[in-house]
Structure 1
Amino acid sequence: MSFWWNTVALPIIAFMRHAHFPEDATQSYSLFLQAEILPLLGPDPSPESGSPAYPSWMTDDNTPLEFSLVFQKTGEPLVRFAIEPSALPLAGDRTIKTLRNTLHRLSLSLAMKPQFNLSWFDICAEELLLADIQQPPEHMGHPVSETFIGFDCSHYSAAMKVYFMPRIRALVTEESPEEMLTRTTSRLGLEKPWQKIEHFLSRFLPGDRPEIDIVAVDCVPGAKNRLKIYIRTDILSYSHLECFLTLGGTLPSADVSAGLRNARLLWAAMTADGRPAGSSRYFPAGLIYYELRQSRDNPSSKVYLPVRRYLPNDLEISKSIESLDSRLSGYSQFAQTNIPHRELSTRTGIHTYVCCTVKPGGGDISLYYSLEAFAPERTVGLRRAIVRLPSDAQNIATLWVREWELLVSGKQNGDFSLAPDCCLRDLLVFSPTLRMLEGRDRVVRHLQAAPRIFYGFRILGQIAFKIVTDALHLIQGRMHFEDDDATYTAIFTLSSSGNSPWRCWALLTVLNELKKSTIPPNVLGRGAEFDTVIIGAGQAGLATAAQLHQLGLNVCIIERNSRVGDPWRNRYESLQFNTPKDFSHLPYFPFPDDWPMFPSATLVADHLEKYPQILGLDVRTSTETTRAVYDGANKTWTVQLQHSDGSKCTLNSSHLVIATGVDILGGQKPKIPQLPGLTNFRGTIFHSTAVRDAHQWMGKRVVVFGAGCSGHDICMALAKTGAAEVTMVQRSPTAVISREVLLKLFPDLYTGENKPPINVADEFYLALPTPISKILRSAMMGKLAPLDAQVIPSVPLYLAYGMVDIEIYTADSESVVFSSHPGNLILLKGLPSDVVRSIFLWMLHLLIRRAGGYYIDQGCSGLIANGSIKLRQYNSIEALVPNGIIFTDGQKLAADTIIFATGFEADSKPAAFLDESVYNETGKIGGIDDEGETIGLWCPSGHDDLWFAGGDLFNCRFYSRLLALQILRSFERQ
């Protein structure tokens, strides 16, 4: 229903804001429109949908919506709108009962005041609608509607009205509308005012008699009710108008004198010389309205002037409207901003009618608008006018949270709240594991399959409104909800592009806290010495231990190295963070403020060594795990250990967490490619794990295999410390991004005085699942390409090097292939912007999906660009010889040393000290599943009491909390 959202809901919301509606009231009406009104309008009639337009009889424009602003004598303006429902049952099934039930449901959904009442409606329906057995006439293949429904919307109350078109019944039964009204007014106790109207109409000759067009009734308690009769007539002069407003001069002067002054002002403002100026082919007839009440013998009257007949364009109409009354101050400025102004000699206008009442003391002024004012081409501009302030975004988000609550509770199917291509990242809320689901249907099924009842939905903090591109706007926020067992948070990202309404594009749901109180140490254990034993005191093990310790569980960490932090301490000296320190630290103990933004490995190692001391964690260093055996009957682990002095001991634990870093997949066995002739080489061979100080290769010719981050860092260190010649051998293409651009891409969640708490920042950072993150970051990178061109001004900027073929579709849809040859660079300078954008998309594939094949430049790329570091391709190697490498083109590369920065061997078994039976339960650990989640890490492994943890510092900080909550929950469920 995106067409109806854009053409019906958006303009109504805009006009409510112009009428100074409070934001909570606007939100309530917006929800009402989406849930109750838009479905009544039928299928999307836009050309893209293929559905035929519904030929409404309600308005002169044949559109099923009419809306207006009502400027009252006192109080704030009303917003009034009416719809002609095309989705209600038609023909024989369209009974009074069906319509009555629909009205009742609408009234309840809006919680109307005063109390809803259908007593007058029932009488009018019996007298003015066709009986069930009678078929209404058709127009363009559709049964003609006999009714439409209107709403008067004030700030915190609304009244509902039903409009009947007796002329439809007259076409079938051949009785006149006057005859129907005589019976109707008699039953309603309105004979006296009706007789005065009937007498006035009888003075016209039959061929000239004005037509009774519409009869309306309010659905309110009887004392406040009124019957309204609309007569269509062509108003050609003020005297003609006054005759109708006074029923030919029969209404008492005291009742009409003040109202007639308004009518004269209106006529003067809308006509230049006392007569209509516009073309009569555009809606020549005006409307005269008579209001009948039981408490009055005389009807009151109102005029609807078809202003687009009288003035040349909408701009002139808006200026004339503003001149009518001080209540309309500022109207022309509003109209100029939000309404397209047209010359009425060529197209229909946007303003349809201006209306003023004729009653004692004056009356209201109403402005009516065409639905076509907000055609799809106007949607983007209108949306910008609506959503331009933080409060506006807050209102839309609040509305969406209400829809989300209905969806989760199964009361709504998700059509309004979720985008068709939405993504859900569910972290232990609706599922016992970590899931990532794409597509609205899958997401809805997943959400509504949860057996629990959720409640307590509320927004946390402020809402952010972001313009990603001119065509893509986002609203992002955080909310709380809960069930009887736990509390949860969610990060929702609403998107709006083109003509679409605001819907959820991405959703992250996270288990936040278990409701039971913190558990004292070992109270809920299974008779074991520890609640949890963690193998590995690296970043994953330390973070998990800290989270478990914080929850009150008794934890022991086993570390085979002599010092905590040795895996960082023993790396090459030039190793630094590739991400800012504020982003990459463990829970509860961030890095010092005076550290550099990209800390060295040595600093990190020393910080990790302090971590368990500060937090009071139990770490056993210089201790090797030799075996871990699970007792299924008692649900405990027996962990056998050997200390560096040869002594042995045993620990018992309810849970076992393996957090051994790269060792998690089977050991730190260096990966050495099986190159032809490798055994013939007489120089020295090292793996990157053995590289500490590059000075030892001063004056040497060194070849480094591997073009990842380690390969780049080692090559740069060699070149800067005086190696005679440095060559990088690359197997696959490498994407390069500078640190400066990386920092621009990084969210400002982790820096500045107003940064949120770290747990909130982490949730927002993870809020966009991979498919959506890829789209958004491609847009951002396209904007940042010129920035990277300034990073290395002395050399041409490159985005990738190696043997690369990239197929790019340019703006004119022509396919162009860019290739780079061994040792060449893909240059950014001089390439068209769409080519640069396509290359960035390829880089994102490497960054996000492959989790490798990229380098965050710290200076090595400039050395490659200026030739200080040579670049060769792995697949062009023919063989190694005693003093170097022979390539397939016959060239020889002399080498004294070869360094393999090629990673580690993987193993299908998660750890050598586990029994074979455990492997059968866990299955594969590591790698990416079909949903994009890492298999077996931070989530159930397949074995109830065995867990695996690993990853960079950010992932360890965030996911360790989830792992700790899962372990705690397992105790509570015993």
Structure 2
Amino acid sequence: MKPAVVIIGAGSAGLGAAAALLERGVTNVVLEQGDRVATSWRQRHEDLRLNTVRWLSGLPGLAVPRHAGRWVSRDDYVAYLERYASRQALDIRFGVRARRLTPTGRGWQVGTDTGVYEATHVVVATGNDRVPWQPDLPGLAAFGGPVRHVAELRRAADLAGRRVLLIGAGNSAVEIAGHLVDHGVAQLWMSIRRPPTILPRQMWGVPLHPATVALRYLPERVRDGLARAISRRAFGDLTPYGLPAAADGPFRRMRTTGVTAAVDQGFVGHLVAGRLSIVADVTRLTPNEAILRDGLRVEPDVIVTATGYRSGLADLLGPLGVLDRHQRPLTGKGRQALPGLWLTGFWPAIEGNLRQHGREARRIADAIATGRRRFGGPRPPAADDRRPHPIPGTRP
């Protein structure tokens, strides 16, 4: 039998959707281009820890274990996703890259580099941070040192003793800046065009993540006002250190640009202590210098860009007309983009991306399962016959 649903991507969003569907008796297969689950998580730097609390970061059906601590490390979260896939008995096909989606009269065909899969529904869960975005800086090709996106930096310790120019001011930039100082870079300049709102991960030992969840239904202006007040209470005025307050609140910025708030993991302490310097944005590079907008010149050994990511959805979904000009889905969270086509994991949330993945998984699974019952879909298979297969005559 063919699966009712094909899921593309074996990260947290895809695994959550697969488990929620199985719980409702809906057969599915997960296609993953990597050789293991959580490919994108494995590629992040080794110092990474979640900014969301452990007990609000799990997926449907299995909590993150208590031994992982309050702020779960990269390796512990990868281990959790591996255990999740095994515990839920998910059918995952590794080394399969989805190339195209084609609507048919009865659902969808998923063209891959190993064959064609057919299903009534397709869930795209390839991740919002799939493709690192590198700015096209004038003189970039002439710069004599290495230029690396933060996604390529596996160990901040590798830059110990180096002079580093860090470009960017989002959460990734603020996070890696703290780690670079911790690991002993000789000098760190942080080039900022638009100041972020920086929030503490916890205050007086109490994590703030549950509060953002509890307050999510308040008006945006109220949440932005509370976030500004918390930032001022935690850090004071950082203008004397080169970091003025953000012009807009974090929730408004999230809604209008998709850029989340920056969460402090030691960055502010390093800034106030003078262990890093905030500088203007870069206008041009020479073989050994970066020339800044205010005329200052700095001589870094290495440039690290923390300039964000793109979804990479254009190749797969571009012809279907479901993306805006920024390659972001036009549909809402966990809803159909087209009949039988669902997207999940593409809407970052200050109250927690991982928590959002679980909510979207349940919404999609409920809608698909309800639709099958309403329109007389096939009965759920026996427990020993839940491994779906590609179209006969194609390679798995």
Same fold flag (TM > 0.5): yes
> Per the alignment, do residues 844 and 649 of structure 1 end up closer, same or farther by CA in structure 2, a change over 3 Å counting?
closer
The alpha carbon displacement at 1:638 in A equals 2.5
Residue 651 of structure 1 pairs with residue 69 of structure 2: no
The alpha carbon displacement at 1:865 in A equals 1.5
CA distance in 2, matches of 1:628, 1:849: 29
Matching residue of 1:605: 78
CA distance in 2, matches of 1:539, 1:606: 12
Matching residue of 1:912: 315
Residue 670 of structure 1 pairs with residue 117 of structure 2: no
Q: Which of the residues 353, 373, 385 maps onto 1:972? A: 373
Q: What TM-score results when the alignment is normalised by the length of structure 2?
A: 0.83
Aligned residues: 368
Matching residue of 1:628: 101
Q: Counterpart amino acid of 2:217?
A: P
CA distance in 1, matches of 2:54, 2:152: 26
Matching residue of 2:127: 661
> Match of 1:617, SS?
coil
CA distance in 1, matches of 2:140, 2:357: 38
Q: Which of the residues 944, 960, 969 maps onto 2:361? A: 960
CA distance in 2, matches of 1:670, 1:748: 31
Indicate if the aligned counterparts of 2:227 and 2:249 stay in contact, CA closer than 8 A. no
> Match of 2:315, SS?
coil
Indicate if the aligned counterparts of 1:937 and 1:947 stay in contact, CA closer than 8 A. no
Task: Write out aligned runs for 1:783-862 (5 A).
Answer: 788=234, 797-799=235-237, 824-826=242-244, 842-843=249-250, 845-846=252-253, 850-852=257-259, 854-862=261-269
The alpha carbon displacement at 1:747 in A equals 3.9
The alpha carbon displacement at 1:549 in A equals 0.4
> Per the alignment, do residues 546 and 888 of structure 1 end up closer, same or farther by CA in structure 2, a change over 3 Å counting?
closer
Matching residue of 1:547: 20
CA distance in 1, matches of 2:17, 2:325: 18
Indicate if the aligned counterparts of 1:778 and 1:844 stay in contact, CA closer than 8 A. no
Indicate if the aligned counterparts of 1:734 and 1:800 stay in contact, CA closer than 8 A. no
Matching residue of 1:640: 111
> Per the alignment, do residues 703 and 926 of structure 1 end up closer, same or farther by CA in structure 2, a change over 3 Å counting?
closer
> Per the alignment, do residues 706 and 826 of structure 1 end up closer, same or farther by CA in structure 2, a change over 3 Å counting?
closer
Matching residue of 2:46: 573
Residue 560 of structure 1 pairs with residue 33 of structure 2: yes
Residue 775 of structure 1 pairs with residue 222 of structure 2: yes
> Per the alignment, do residues 787 and 880 of structure 1 end up closer, same or farther by CA in structure 2, a change over 3 Å counting?
closer
Q: Counterpart amino acid of 2:288?
A: N
CA distance in 1, matches of 2:97, 2:249: 43
The alpha carbon displacement at 1:869 in A equals 1.0
Q: Counterpart amino acid of 2:44?
A: R
> Per the alignment, do residues 867 and 534 of structure 1 end up closer, same or farther by CA in structure 2, a change over 3 Å counting?
same
Q: Which of the residues 716, 726, 751 maps onto 2:188? A: 726
CA distance in 1, matches of 2:208, 2:131: 35
The alpha carbon displacement at 1:548 in A equals 0.5
CA distance in 1, matches of 2:8, 2:24: 19
> Match of 2:144, SS?
coil
CA distance in 2, matches of 1:776, 1:890: 38
Task: Write out aligned runs for 1:54-65 (5 A).
Answer: none
Matching residue of 2:342: 947
Matching residue of 1:237: none
Q: Counterpart amino acid of 1:638?
A: Q
1:913-968 Cα distance to aligned partner (Å, 9 max, x none)? 4583xx14x35498899xxxx73441121x21111111521111112111111112
CA distance in 1, matches of 2:311, 2:371: 31
Q: Counterpart amino acid of 1:935?
A: T
> Match of 1:717, SS?
helix
> Match of 1:530, SS?
coil
The alpha carbon displacement at 1:541 in A equals 0.6
The alpha carbon displacement at 1:625 in A equals 1.7
> Per the alignment, do residues 924 and 770 of structure 1 end up closer, same or farther by CA in structure 2, a change over 3 Å counting?
farther
Matching residue of 2:149: 687
Task: Write out aligned runs for 1:62-211 (5 A).
Answer: none
Q: Counterpart amino acid of 2:366?
A: L
The alpha carbon displacement at 1:595 in A equals 1.8
Q: Counterpart amino acid of 2:304?
A: I
The alpha carbon displacement at 1:873 in A equals 1.6
| Structure 2 gap segments, 5+ residues each | 348-352, 376-396
More strand by share: 1
> Per the alignment, do residues 903 and 726 of structure 1 end up closer, same or farther by CA in structure 2, a change over 3 Å counting?
same
CA distance in 2, matches of 1:744, 1:608: 23
The alpha carbon displacement at 1:582 in A equals 1.0
CA distance in 2, matches of 1:539, 1:948: 13
Which has more radius of gyration?
A: 1
Matching residue of 2:10: 537
> Per the alignment, do residues 563 and 744 of structure 1 end up closer, same or farther by CA in structure 2, a change over 3 Å counting?
closer
CA distance in 1, matches of 2:197, 2:74: 24
1:510-559 Cα distance to aligned partner (Å, 9 max, x none)? xxxxxxxxxxxxxxxxxx60000100011111111111100001110001
CA distance in 1, matches of 2:334, 2:355: 13
The alpha carbon displacement at 1:766 in A equals 6.8
CA distance in 1, matches of 2:226, 2:132: 38
CA distance in 2, matches of 1:878, 1:612: 46
Q: What TM-score results when the alignment is normalised by the length of structure 1?
A: 0.35
The alpha carbon displacement at 1:848 in A equals 6.3
Matching residue of 2:385: none
Aligned-CA RMSD value: 3.0
Q: Counterpart amino acid of 1:769?
A: Y
> Match of 2:369, SS?
helix
Indicate if the aligned counterparts of 1:704 and 1:898 stay in contact, CA closer than 8 A. yes
> Match of 1:879, SS?
strand
CA distance in 2, matches of 1:740, 1:683: 38
The alpha carbon displacement at 1:659 in A equals 0.6
> Per the alignment, do residues 551 and 800 of structure 1 end up closer, same or farther by CA in structure 2, a change over 3 Å counting?
farther
> Match of 2:44, SS?
coil
Q: Counterpart amino acid of 2:118?
A: N
> Per the alignment, do residues 779 and 534 of structure 1 end up closer, same or farther by CA in structure 2, a change over 3 Å counting?
closer
